[in-house]
């Protein structure tokens, strides 16, 4: 049996010691990924997740998250959740305390209130300043943009900005169970109500204890169009080596966009604890930590610039 492990995007490294502590005590992979996600959601310095995350074009922070139990392949997700911090916990409650997989918008917020999630103001002074600076450069003001009848032209200006980001966690516990969680505020200055790949099971997140788990970060529209996470796990089921699975996922994403592909990354974990990560941007890292390690490691992701043949 492989040593329990958690694999994450690089911004999840700060949470790995807490998640691994759960695994050392015999806790479940599901508990570990939720605990890790909550830590990053509470970090105001991470502008891609939770508190202090990028707002939408109107200055409102909307969160997307999903969680999946690889044993049962049950899943829960929320999209465009406003006013509540721990989107991953709400997603888990959707899985365990409702008959649904995905709740969105006001329905997700209502459900969060129903399960006792406290309200939180998510826009911090720092991210509000960044938003107003973006608007100023575009010749707009906060009050002006809120009065505009058409904001889609402004959103189009964000298409090539590097304001995408997410945190993801894949865990294997001592019983051989896999679980995954993904949390994000989504695309910075997105159109209100935009839903990325993170809450979509099969696109940004997929987990099956028989074969493996995968999760994506970056330009979510590519993962949505290519169903990258589920495709990666399907390839693991066909016994394709994990490093090749990760690289081929990015090659497939590269072929979905004209010109230079937008940023895309993936992490992959097998039931035997083997893991890999790939990206189409040089210098990017991911993180992992086993129960036998004193601290996380953050190796470079494999870089894939080609397109799938």
Residues taking part in catalysis: 166
**CA neighbours within 13 Å on the CB side: how many for 87?**
36
Q: Where would I find the beta strands (DSSP E) of the chain?
A: 5-9, 63-69, 74-81, 102-104, 167-172, 178-184, 205-208, 212-218, 264-269, 275-279, 286-290, 302-303
Q: H helices of 166-264, where?
A: 220-226, 228-237, 242-254
Q: Are strands 286-290 and 205-208 parallel, antiparallel or unpaired?
A: unpaired
CA distances from 221 to 12, 40, 47, 114 (A): 22, 23, 19, 31
Q: Are strands 302-303 and 275-279 parallel, antiparallel or unpaired?
A: parallel
Q: How far apart are the first and last CA of the chain?
A: 36
Q: Which of 246, 256, 263 is nearest to 164 (CA)?
A: 263
Question: 142 near 175, Cβ under 8 Å?
Answer: no
């Amino acid at each position: 049996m492989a040593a329990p492990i958690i694999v994450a995007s690089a911004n999840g490294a700060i949470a790995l010691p807490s998640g691994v502590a759960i695994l050392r005590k015999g806790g479940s992979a599901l508990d570990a990924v939720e605990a890790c996600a909550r830590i990053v959601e509470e970090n105001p310095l991470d502008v891609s997740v939770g508190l202090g995350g990028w707002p939408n074009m109107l200055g409102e922070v909307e969160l997307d998250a999903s969680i999946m139990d690889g044993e049962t392949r049950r899943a829960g997700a929320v999209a465009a959740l406003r006013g509540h911090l721990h989107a991953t916990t709400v997603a888990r409650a959707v899985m365990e305390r409702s008959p649904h997989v995905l709740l969105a918008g006001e329905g997700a917020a209502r459900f969060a209130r129903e399960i006792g999630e406290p309200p939180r103001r998510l826009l911090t002074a720092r991210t509000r300043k960044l938003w107003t600076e973006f608007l100023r450069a575009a010749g707009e003001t906060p009050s002006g943009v809120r009065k505009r009848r058409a904001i889609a032209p402004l959103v189009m200006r964000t298409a090539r900005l590097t304001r995408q980001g997410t945190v993801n966690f894949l865990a294997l516990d001592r019983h051989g169970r896999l679980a995954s969680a993904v949390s994000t505020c989504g695309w910075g200055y997105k159109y209100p109500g935009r839903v990325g790949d993170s809450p979509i099971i099969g696109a940004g997140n997929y987990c099956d204890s028989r074969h493996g788990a995968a999760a994506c970060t970056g330009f979510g529209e590519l993962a949505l169009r290519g169903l990258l996470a589920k495709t990666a796990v399907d390839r693991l089921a066909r016994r394709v080596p994990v490093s090749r699975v990760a690289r081929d996922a990015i090659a497939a994403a590269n072929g979905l966009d004209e010109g230079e592909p937008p940023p895309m990354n993936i992490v992959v974990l097998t039931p035997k604890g083997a893991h890999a990560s790939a990206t189409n941007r040089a210098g990017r890292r991911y993180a992992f930590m086993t129960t036998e390690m004193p601290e996380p490691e953050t190796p470079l992701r494999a870089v894939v610039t080609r397109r799938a043949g």
